[in-house]
Amino acid sequence: MTAQLYCFGESGNAYKAALALTFCEMDWEPVFVDFFNGETRTPAFRAINEMGEVPVLRDGDTVLTQSGVILDYVSSRTGKLGGKSAAERREVLRWLFWDNHKLSTQIGTTRFLMNFVPEEKRPEGVIPFVQGRLKAAYTVLNDHMATRDWVVGNHLTIADLSCCGYLYYPEPFGFSRADWPHIDRWLDRIAALPGWKHPYEMMPGNPSDRAK
């Protein structure tokens, strides 16, 4: 049975799930969610996810929300991209939780304000403040990757997919790969894996659609 991923191209959290489904070789298809025209706020979508967010994964009778939960489910269901021991699994979860709290959420907010909110509606001071917090997070990740190929252990895991999700997007949010050479090499390593695609190629919807 083909799993369905409710998503749109601009969503870094949905991109994490799409990468996991692809690298774990699950049969899946994207279901476009028109976020920018308010679809996630409709009663029909709230019946799928009361939180009004993507990604949502529907796999048979299983319906899951929140990218970290979806990553864990895909890994557990396929037996791929998880830790090779109980200790490694805890380390994978540690980086998933760190990413959700320190990295992806902050990037998502900053990128949205800088690129998808009219300048006159951007709250003063918020972007520089969050970018400062992000610089600290980039430093943690860059230092961690200085002597290793993957976030956890010696192989790709869902920890890598969680942490990399927003870092391939072209819209400016204060991150330049050239400033973080260990992150840069790690992102290249992931992008060289069979099946990898840019988020705007892997999922429907991108800013150019709304510019027409």
Question: In this structure, what CATH number is given to the domain that contains residue 14?
Answer: 3.40.30.10
pLDDT at 154: 97
User: Is residue 156 a part of any domain in this protein?
Assistant: yes
* Residues in the chain with pLDDT values less than 50: none
Strand order in the sheet with 3-7: 28-32, 3-7, 56-59, 62-65
pLDDT at 208: 85
CATH, residue 96: 1.20.1050.10
Q: Residue type at 58?
A: R
User: Is residue 183 a part of any domain in this protein?
Assistant: yes
C-alpha 45/C-alpha 51 separation (Å) is: 9
User: Is residue 212 a part of any domain in this protein?
Assistant: no
Number of domains observed in the structure of the chain: 2
**CA nearest to 185, candidates 157, 159, 153, 160:** 160
Same domain, yes or no: 23 and 111: no
3-state helix, strand, coil in the chain (%, to 5): 55, 10, 35
C-alpha 134/C-alpha 2 separation (Å) is: 37
Share of the chain above pLDDT 90, in %: 97
pLDDT at 75: 98
C-alpha 89/C-alpha 180 separation (Å) is: 27
Residue that has been written with the tokens 């992000």 in this structure: 134
pLDDT at 167: 98
Range of the domain at 175: 86-191
pLDDT at 212: 63
